[in-house]
Structure 1
Amino acid sequence: MARSNALRQPSAAPQDVSNPLGARLAIREGSHTGPTAGMAPGCVQGNLVILPKYDAADFLRFAVANPKPCPIIAVSEPGDPHLAAIGSDLDIRTDVPRYVVWKDGRKTEEPADITPHWRDDLVTFVIGCSYSFEQALIEDGIEIRHITEGCAVPMYRTSIPTTPAGPFHGPLVVSMRPMTPANAIRAVQITGRLPGVHGAPVHLGRPDLIGIADLAKPDYGDAVSIRDDEIPVFWACGVTPQSVIATSRPRFCITHYPGSMIVTDLSNARLSVS
């Protein structure tokens, strides 16, 4: 599997990554190449699934049937990489730090630019991301460990099945954040008001009950420290489509690399329900 950053040329002047356009330009120009957690605080970040038109209707049905891991933020017209409704000067081909190209359910490349792979029949799905609800947790004084430790959130495949649609099926993926029990209760209350970015946790405590053998060995992202007074708190994760792609094996697909999202102009506050 190849990984290439050849099309990225770092900019001489650093961009202001505290705003969404600056974050996208920093990514496009190659001055930011890592996880997007903490970029453009207050703005929605999205997971990506890009499929040929012949698979798009089935995937949309899959997302509707599985709203916790796959809350749809935007869907493009076939062949349109710009999605102006979610970001000015947004180009889905260049504005994610790292992508994954899939063929027949296998990862073949992890490029920093998918322009060479772009086709007129490709449909982009932008799916809500837990980075959005993390801002609400931080504002309430709850520590987000992977941000503190400067790494990607740990993510795990579980034994929980998704609801199949057409050819798409596979296990739920969850993201994990360690918290004290008191903070976990508060996190349930806060994230429950944000169904557009995964909503409330799907599980607390005992990882073995959902098929996770070892928290120190995430399937995606990085392991984080867990203190003696903390429990793991698990949310449905937008990386779920990647486990589904590996299981369902569509002929062609492009996703984001876990932890590397598209930063949109949308406000997290717009996704909150009272």
Structure 2
Amino acid sequence: MPQTIVNPARLTPPEARALFREGLVTPTSGWSAGWTQANLIALPKEQAYDFLVFAQRNPRPCPVLDVTEPGEFAASLFGGDLRTDLPGYRVYRDGEQVAEVPDVLSYWRDDLVCFLVGCSFTFEAALLDAGVPVRHIEAGTNVPMYRTNRDCRPAGELSGPMVVSMRPVPAELVATAVRITSRYPAVHGAPVHVGDPGALGIDDLDRPDFGDPVEVRAGELPVFWACGVTPQAAVMRSRPPFAIGHAPGHMAITDARDSAYQVP
């Protein structure tokens, strides 16, 4: 097992991927600063077109950055091996999670199409640079993620709720957070909601559906961004025969720069 990493922000994508390939399992928020992170969903070719349409109809939670040919396990944005070079994976059969594993070599199929979907970790460095705190990085935990009462537009056999990630933001910095993240439309962009979690059907911020809870302090508002775990929520509802996703918060660290997804 690899040693504890003192400063993961300084690692290059190949260095980070090598650690994950060796067996390191960890959330990747704050890793490889300046390099874009991505969600992974892999579906059989028979379901891939439905997902592509699903993503096109729901670009906020499902912004597709790259797509492989069936059976390929590298991508133009990802020079590693998508079967081994993420720090954690979830495997689904008929919509039920059957495994959470450090690699998916034994589950791999030659008909799988891999989609890399934008991740909000990409804009966290910009938030920090502007003085906006990112609580899960401060705490060394995973970002909290929640299913919402907002259904995505369905496509073919795929349907499901939008998932959101949440970051507490001091009230006086909410406008700054909105301005900064709106410049990253390919990785979820501006928040979808600020304030009352009940408006999204979230009953308890201390019980996220994915990831870890974080403290919301006095004077802070919970701010919610569309989240790339949405494809896995669609898998769980729609029950395709097989799918592989990343373990939430355990992302693919790509060879693309964050700045490539920033607009003026």
What is the TM-score normalised by the length of structure 2? 0.96
Query: What stretches of structure 1 move > 4 A for 4+ residues in a row?
Result: 11-17
User: Which of 55, 62, 77 is 1:86 aligned to?
Assistant: 77
Compared with structure 1, are the counterparts of its residues 179 and 16 closer, same or farther at alpha carbon in structure 2 (3 Å cutoff)?
Answer: closer
Q: CA–CA distance in 2 between the matches of 1:183 and 1:222?
A: 23
Cα distance in 1 for residues equivalent to 2:240 and 2:44: 10
1:176 alignment partner AA: M
The one-letter code sitting in structure 2 at the alignment partner of 1:152 is: N
User: CA shift at 1:210, angstroms?
Assistant: 1.0
Aligned AA for 1:23? A
Using the TM superposition, give the Cα deviation of residue 14 of structure 1 relative to its aligned residue in structure 2, in angstroms: 7.6
How far does residue 16 in structure 1 lie from its aligned partner after superposition?
8.2
Distance 1:28 1:15 in 2: 18
Q: Structure 1 residue aligned with 2:22, among 25, 29, 40?
A: 29
Q: Identify if the C-alpha distance between structure 1 residues 93 and 234 changes in structure 2 by more than 3 Å, giving closer, same or farther.
A: same
Query: CA separation of 1:121/1:272 partners in 2, compared to 1, >3 Å: closer, same or farther?
Result: same
Counterpart CA distance in 2 for 1:61 and 1:239 is 17
| Amino acid in the other structure paired with 2:12 | N
CA RMSD, aligned part only? Answer: 1.5
**1:254 and 2:244 aligned:** yes
Post-superposition CA distance 1:142-186 (Å, at most 9, x none)? 110000001000011110110110111111110000011121110
3-state SS of the aligned residue for 1:25?
helix
Counterpart-to-counterpart distance in 2, 1:111 and 1:33: 9
**Which of 177, 181, 194 is residue 187 of structure 1 equivalent to?**
177
What is the Cα deviation at residue 13 of structure 1? 11
- Give how far 1:213 is off: 0.4
Match status 1:166 vs 2:159: no
SS of 1:110's equivalent? strand
User: Aligned partners of 1:56, 1:15: CA distance in 2, in Å?
Assistant: 39
| 2:101 match: secondary structure | coil
Q: Which residue of 2 aligns with 1:74?
A: 66
TM-superposed deviation, 1:228: 1.0
- Give per-residue Cα distances to partners, 1:35-89, cap 9 Å, x unaligned: 0111110110000100000000110000010000000011001101011x1133x
Structure 1 residues 199-208 or 179-188, which shifts more? 179-188
Q: Which residue of 2 aligns with 1:230?
A: 220
Identity score, percent: 48
Change (3 A) 1:11 1:35: closer
Counterpart for residue 6 of structure 1: none
TM score, norm. by length of structure 1 = 0.93
Q: Distance in 2 between matches of 1:66 and 1:243?
A: 13
Q: Shift of the alpha carbon at 1:141?
A: 1.5
What is the number of residues matched between the two proteins? 262
The one-letter code sitting in structure 2 at the alignment partner of 1:29 is: E
User: Cα–Cα, structure 1 residues 235 and 11, in superposed 2: closer, same or farther, change >3 Å?
Assistant: closer
- CA 1:175–1:13: 2 relative to 1, 3 Å: closer
What SS class does the counterpart of residue 136 from structure 2 fall into? helix
Q: Deviations for 1:184-230, whole angstroms, at most 9, x for unmatched residues?
A: 11010001010011000000001101100011111110000111110
Does residue 56 (structure 1) correspond to residue 55 (structure 2)? The answer is no
Aligned residue for 2:233, secondary structure, equals: helix
Unaligned runs of 5+ in 1: 1-9
Written as runs of structure 1 = structure 2, the 5 A alignment for 1:124-163 is 124-163=114-153
Shift of residue 12, structure 1, vs aligned partner = 8.2
Q: Which residue of 2 aligns with 1:19?
A: 12
1:232 to 1:13, Cα distance in 2 relative to 1, 3 A? closer
Asked if the contact 1:16/1:23 (under 8 Å) is kept, the reply is: no
Question: Which residue identity lines up with residue 35 of structure 1 in the other structure?
Answer: P
Q: Deviations over 1:111-153 (max 9, x none)?
A: 1110111111110000000100111101111110000001000
Amino acid corresponding to residue 158 of structure 2 in structure 1: F
